Each structure stands twice: as structure tokens, then as C-alpha cells.
Structure 1
Amino acid sequence: MRLYRYVGPAELMGGPAGAAMVSPAAFERWIARADASEPFTYVVDRHGYLLLAPRQCEHVACAGGSRVRGAGEVTFARDADGWFVRTVSNQSTGYCPDVTSWPAVAAAFERAALRHPGRFSDELTFRRCPGCTELNVVKDGDFACTYCGTALPARWNVDRG
């Protein structure tokens, strides 16, 4: 599985790392201290563990500056069977993970014993313009650069490093 390198601004790289959900018990301890009504920042680290932080935390800080297997935002809910993932996205403009990162994200949820929707609830398609090199979010299937109009590639190309 691909490891995504941070591609955002260097000034956002500081801050405390996210909490690793190395087991179902780790998640239970963490969520008991969190405001579960809010979305959270998440990353999946290189070892496949889910790291969680408050939504205001930058993904790169949550990851401790490391490469990740996935990143985005997540909300949780609880029912009679326990905690589950209510919504999950790949919305991280710092890592710009491709939608193909889903298997790594799903595996991290499963490792923490969190039921999930089986796919991203909200999918973002990131591309780097081959003309002006700006990062783009593809909207409504329009693979044209927002900044210069150049055609964007069909395949993920964000990480130039």
C-alpha cells in the first residue's frame, strides 16, 4: 500500500501527535475523554494503526510528521453494539490521499474493532496540475485545473517526491 508524503505548508508541521488506537481498549479509553459529537482528524500510520486527534489538529501533526497510509476526517457514533464509524472521508489537503487508500483505512478501523461503512462516506479526488503544479480537488468529474485550465491526469499524481 502507498505511503503518502506530506505536501502541505511547512509551517503546519508542528503540534502534538495523534493518539494511536492500538487496540479496542485504547479506543474506548480515548473516546471516553473526547467530545464524540465532533469530527476528528485521523491518519493511518505506516504500521497500519489509526491515530486520532481533535479536528483542529493538522493531519501532519497527528502523524508526527511521518508518511501515512491514509488521512481524513471521521465521526463516531454508538449504538447497542458499541462504537462505529458514522462518516469517514479522505479530506486531507496536507497528504491528499487517493481514494485507493480505503483498504488501509478500513483495516485500521477493524484493528480498533470499529464497524465502518465499507467505503469513504465523502471521497475527494486530488490531482496536481502538470502545467502550473498547483494542487486541485476534482469537482463534478471535471479534470481541469482550477488555476490554469490544463487537463488533470486520470491517475493520482500529487506526491512529486
Structure 2
Amino acid sequence: MSVRGRTYRYVGPADLRVLVRPGGEGRAISSSTDLDEWVSQRPPAEREEAFTFVVDVDGVLRLAPRRSEHVVCAGGGRVLSAGEISFRHDMGRWLVDEVSNQSTGYCPDVSSWPAVAEALEHAGIEHPAAFTLPVVFRRCPDCREHNIVREDDFVCVFCGSDLPHDWNVDPRA
């Protein structure tokens, strides 16, 4: 795969990073068959909800149950994107129902969508043209808290300062 773009390192709480275990990363999905097998192994109630996903730095889609932490799904490493995704099976093929970049551990920009699209295409899974539920993350330059920008209101919910319009969550990125 020819994945390009920014990589995101984990910027969430340190106490969640300790949950990462060797071999505990999310299931690599490189084909529809991989998705069939992984979903069939999930408990019935879990199959009906969205899954946690990351696209690793090699461009591979990795899935984990929804209540999993993104940093665990990524094996603690950098990612090209992260969020939540749901699928439906229709006439023998997999389609993405909804997909977001909602990951407060990595806070990926909406511009990470091409990495998600490429990973899904590589796996043969049909998808929308963009995140169906895009999330805009910003870091407050004054109080340094991470914010989710809602309704284009670029104001920090913690201290009231203006937030930048360009992605700035990870100062070391």
C-alpha cells in the first residue's frame, strides 16, 4: 500500500497506555474474509455496535471491540488514523455504515480520512467518501487541554480562549 500522511502518536491519559500488551493489538483486517472471520467470533450483542479501529503506520486496518482503547488496538504505536466504525453485510459484501475519527487518545484530524479509505479499499470493503461523523480536535494554546470543536465554535470549553483553526493537538507532531 502507498499510505501517506501525518502519523499520530498517543496523546491520551498515561494510565491507559499501561494496558498495552505484546500481541494484544487489534485484529488486522486485510480482506473481507478477515472481517467475516473476526465478526463471527464476536459475541452477538457486540456485532451490532460500532468497533474501535486504527489504521496502523503500514496502512492496515485494525479492529477491536468498541470499549477497547485505541492505544491498545494500535499496540501502543503511532497511527495514520483512529476512530469508531460500524459495518453491515449486504448481499454478500461488507459496507461501512458509519465511520468517525472519534479517538480521544490519538485525536486524529479529519484529514486522516484518505488513510482509512485506502485501508478499506485494500480490504475490499465499500465505504463512504469521508468520515460520516467527523470530529474536530484542537489543543488549547493557553490551558493545553484537548477540545472537541462543536458547530465551528473554536473556543476552549475549559478556559474560554480561542482555539486555532489548524490541527495542533500534538505539539511534537
* Cα 1:26–1:81 shift into 2, 3 Å: closer
Task: Determine the structure 2 residue equivalent to 1:27.
Answer: 35
1:159 aligns with 2:163: no
Question: Does structure 1 conserve the Cα–Cα contact (< 8 Å) formed by 2:96 and 2:128?
Answer: yes
Q: TM-score, normalised by structure 2?
A: 0.90
- Residue from 99, 103, 115 that aligns with 1:104: 115
- Aligned-residue identity in percent: 53
Distance 1:33 1:139 in 2: 36
Question: Does structure 1 conserve the Cα–Cα contact (< 8 Å) formed by 2:32 and 2:94?
Answer: no
Once superposed, what is the RMSD of the aligned Cα atoms? Answer: 1.0
Q: Flag structure 2 segments of 5+ consecutive residues without an equivalent.
A: none
Deviation at 1:49, TM superposition (A): 0.3
Q: Secondary structure at the match of 1:17?
A: coil
Q: Secondary structure at the match of 1:100?
A: helix
Task: Determine the structure 1 residue equivalent to 2:133.
Answer: 122
Distance 1:116 1:82 in 2: 11
Q: TM-score, normalised by structure 1?
A: 0.96
Distance 1:9 1:135 in 2: 11
Q: Secondary structure at the match of 2:84?
A: strand
1:149 aligns with 2:160: yes
Q: Secondary structure at the match of 1:109?
A: helix
Question: Could you list the runs of 4 or more consecutive aligned residues of structure 1 that deviate by over 3 angstroms after TM superposition?
Answer: none
- Residue from 80, 92, 108 that aligns with 2:91: 80
Report the number of matched residues: 161
Aligned AA (1:92): S
Task: Determine the structure 2 residue equivalent to 1:140.
Answer: 151
